[in-house]
Structure 1
Amino acid sequence: MSDNISEIDYREVLDYSLDPIIIHTDYRIMYINPAAEELFKTTQEEVIGISPLDIFQETSKSAIKKRITGAYASPADVIEETVYKMDGTTVDVELYCHPVMVGNKKAIQTYIRDITDRKITEEKQKEMERQINELSATVVPLLDEIGVLPLVGKIDQEKAIQILEIVPLKVQSLNITHLIIDFSGVYSLDDVVIDSLFRIGSVLSLLGVQSIITGLRPELAIEATSLNIDLSSFPTMSTVKNALSYLGLNVKS
């Protein structure tokens, strides 16, 4: 068996590739494989000779033109773009370009990957995270203008910022004057997040709302102290029940 790579039929490799491939030079398409024909809803005959820039949105053409120019010398980074199919619809794709020789002429070979499914999954994930973040900023109103903010799970910086933005508005809309901030369900915090969360108390005090902290584990208390956060400015209780008793509410066991 020969190991001579020159025996590989390059055109056959391209034709059978599952990834859409376009080869172009001097801003003219020379070849597209069957996978590209399927993606763009077209045929070789319809696109040979047209500019590859025609598949891009107008706002992207200038950047793509520079990218193509650079790709004659070395492979370009993988990027995401929105491109047009021949029927006028659009599709989100990943693009990867690198130089090739076609005869004695330099050309660009562009691999295209449809990322529509991935984008849909990412959007669903973002929406799920948004809903979780909103739940993390849920203020539960109780009697006598008292509310509870139950913090749960892992709170990252984005979630902490959202809590800081949402909670003061919710407290005002619910006419709450005492807010119990319960940390008992929190299992992961970093320094930036701890600082952001404890700033809630300072913001609420400016609105005339007293904050009471409950469920603060020793390690979180130590971390807050190391950040020079003065916990003595907030009443601190072990449980929500204790906080309600502190506020003069009798809670049955």
Structure 2
Amino acid sequence: MFDNLDVMAWATDVQGTVKLSEGRALRMIGSQPGLFVGLNVLDMYRDRPETLGPLKLALAGEPHTSLSRENGRIFETQFRPMHGRSGELLGVAGLSSDVTEREHARLELARQTDQSRRLAELLDLAQDAIMTRTLGGTITYWNRGAERLYGHERAAAMGRVSHALLGTRFPSELEAIDQHLQTTGHWNGELTHARADGQDVVVASRWVLKRGHDGQADEVLELNTDITARKRAEAEEAQRQQLLLAQARAIQELSTPLIPVTDEILVMPMIGTVDSMRAKQIMEAILRGIADTRARFVILDITGVLVVDTAVAGALLRTAAAARLLGSQVIITGIRPEIAQTLVQLEANLEHIVTRGTLQSGITFALGQRRLGA
């Protein structure tokens, strides 16, 4: 019977002398059944206290079970004290089983469990919200980052459908997103979620499809980074830029005012310095005004212009030429002596431009020409 069992059955007297040594497992440690009979275990293992310890406990009357290593194998031994009819200790009986594969599997499971625990601890340190969910959306993992971001404790989130829990708002149809995920194995985009307190949070979301050993998709890893503050800052910046643009347009309109005197006469008083940018704005405002009103005369009053240089003179000439193409005549008024001298020195060609000393005389001229035209 013992020769057909992968065990070692043995027994010693109270002095530790082996009385029984049977079982096929003895061959695993390089021995044979019956070979140890007559030998004293206390002498055999005097240099191995880890082996003698459990035996001495049993010889002291304490039953127990322990693990030991022999010849590269791991054995689980049950130590049972043997007593006579009157209760006296007769010796120790033991049964040893080879549990090498079981212990290796247990140690591997413990290693994997410890690795998973340390990985979970690392994931909990992440600021991002990290979750895993089934293809149907059921949450199977929820890290501390997700608790902090969304306000849902892990126990409350596990087993819930993520999109229902978070009220997810997608940038496109969910079916299209799932199709992209199935095709490419990943998806990136921005989502809007609702926190437990009802506040919205915008996240940069990254989905990764996990496949099983058979290649079939079985789980989704989702990482969400809170970008609410960034999106708010971007919106505020866009609003600020729109305000600056509106202000710039208002300033431009104020710096190049086009005033209708009659339905055919427009006046633009120019004040301050005229640079290339403002000269361009002046031309655009005049041409737009002529096109909108069909004005026949445009009076440019430069009484308030401090300096007229080559660039300003060129801008005035180009504006007059463009106005003529639209059927309007430009009248320049308010030319001061020093500006007149500058224009002469620059040899500005004012042949097709009417000039008058004051704005009033310019308007009078335009009205007279209007009556003549009528």
- What TM bracket, shorter-length normalisation? 0.5 to 0.7
1:207 is aligned to 293
1:19 is aligned to 128
1:178 equivalent in alignment to 2:288: no
How many percent identity over aligned positions?
Answer: 15
User: Residue 24 and residue 233 in structure 1: after superposition, are their counterparts in 2 closer, same or farther (change >3 A)?
Assistant: same
How do 1:43-192 residues align onto structure 2 when only pairs under 5 Å count?
A: 43-54=153-164, 55-57=166-168, 60=170, 63-101=173-211, 106-138=218-250, 148-149=255-256, 177-179=266-268, 184=275, 186=277
2:96 is aligned to none
How do 1:226-237 residues align onto structure 2 when only pairs under 5 Å count?
A: 232-234=321-323
Counterpart-to-counterpart distance in 2, 1:247 and 1:107: 85
Larger radius of gyration: 2
Contact 1:95 1:110 in 2 (8 A): yes
Aligned length: 199
Q: Secondary structure at the match of 1:137?
A: helix
1:179 CA drift (Å): 3.7
1:52 CA drift (Å): 2.0
Q: Give the letter for the 2:189 counterpart.
A: I
Counterpart-to-counterpart distance in 1, 2:131 and 2:309: 59
Q: Give the letter for the 2:132 counterpart.
A: I
Structure 2 length as normaliser, TM-score? Answer: 0.42
Counterpart-to-counterpart distance in 1, 2:182 and 2:121: 23
1:35 is aligned to 145
Which runs of 5 or more structure 1 residues have no equivalent in the other structure? 1-5, 142-146, 150-166, 188-193, 223-228
Which runs of 5 or more structure 2 residues have no equivalent in the other structure? 1-111, 324-329, 340-354, 361-374
Contact 1:53 1:65 in 2 (8 A): no
Contact 1:40 1:85 in 2 (8 A): yes
Q: Give the letter for the 1:232 counterpart.
A: A
What do you get for the CA RMSD once the two structures are aligned?
A: 4.6
1:201 CA drift (Å): 3.8
Structure 1 length as normaliser, TM-score? Answer: 0.58
